[in-house]
Amino acid sequence: MSLVKIMTFNIRMDTEYDGINSFTNRFNRVLEVINKELPDVIGFQEVTDSMRDRLRRALPDYCITGCGRDKNLHGEAMMIAYRADKIELLSCDNIWLSLTPNIPGSRYGGDQSGCPRMYTTTLLKHNDTKEPFRFINTHLDHHGKNARYLGALQLVQAISQYKEKFVLTGDFNAEPSSPEIQLITSALSYRGAIDCTDGFEPTFHAFGQLKEEEKVKIDYIFTDGKCENAYIVEDIPVNGQYYSDHFAICAYIEL
């Protein structure tokens, strides 16, 4: 057994409309969070091509894998980063949340937004263990309830086929009481799966622009390992600048 430090981190896409909180302006703050916490594995969301390239150059101790969600494999990605000195990558697959999961850019349709949704799944092995573990990272639809539920169902079906211990991270765009989150916890309960973030305060704050009652918890870490400790990474704004519009979350998991 080994204790692995996991982080899920929606770092907010790069757009000039965020002003002082555009990715270029807060990039050093993002790096400060990662270099302070030093997670073994990170599930990033909303990583564009240019952001991925900057992260790769700035984080030489990490290998970063995954592809964009669009037809050409570019665009926003659910990138997975892992410490090269501790973790070995055995396999990586990029799967679209749709009826045709192996077709890049495919969607469920219906009430889904115009954005394709997907998950990146890796088989990783920690240097201190004999057995590998499965790490899955996703970002469910921000618009369609049905699309989110179908995406959660597809994830549950995939995880049920994995023999290894798993960790599932992501921005699920759904609160704990929603059908999609309830589906994940109930359907995977036979594996002893838990929500490491159970009871957490809201994780999305829109760069501090939301009123307290408008903030929501939509970021999660699920696992069938043993969650020893989990916490939200504090974000105290500096002159109105945050590290992201979401809080990063860390968890120590025994796998």
- Write the pLDDT tens digit of every residue in 187-197: 999 999 999 99
Q: What is the pLDDT of residue 129?
A: 87
Do 141 and 78 touch, CB atoms closer than 8 A?
Answer: no
CA dihedral (105, 44, 137, 149) positive or negative:
negative
* C-alpha span between 198 and 160 (Å, rounded): 21
Strands 194-195 and 41-45: unpaired
Cα–Cα nearest to 119, from 102, 131, 132: 102
* C-alpha span between 255 and 252 (Å, rounded): 10
Lay out the sheet containing 87-96: strands in order across. 87-96, 118-126, 133-139, 166-171, 219-223, 194-195
Quote the percentage of the chain above a pLDDT of 90: 97
What's 102's DSSP letter?
A: T
Q: What is the pLDDT of residue 13?
A: 96
Q: What is the pLDDT of residue 104?
A: 98
Instruction: Count Cα neighbours of 105 within 13 Å in the Cβ-side half-sphere.
Output: 6
Do 232 and 249 touch, CB atoms closer than 8 A?
Answer: yes
Instruction: Count Cα neighbours of 136 within 13 Å in the Cβ-side half-sphere.
Output: 27
Provide the angle, in degrees to the nearest 10, between the axes of the packed helices 145-161 and 179-187.
Answer: 10
Q: What is the pLDDT of residue 1?
A: 60
Domains of the chain (ranges plus CATH)? Answer: 3-254 (3.60.10.10)
Q: Helices (DSSP H) in 92-218: which residue ranges?
A: 145-161, 179-187
Provide the angle, in degrees to the nearest 10, between the axes of the packed helices 49-58 and 23-37.
Answer: 40
Do 5 and 252 touch, CB atoms closer than 8 A?
Answer: yes
Q: What is the pLDDT of residue 115?
A: 97
Cα–Cα nearest to 119, from 162, 83, 87: 162
pTM of the model: 0.97
* C-alpha span between 197 and 39 (Å, rounded): 16
Q: Kindly give the parts of the chain with pLDDT less than 70.
A: 1
Burial class of 191 by CB neighbour count within 10 A (0 to 12, 13 to 18, 19+): middle
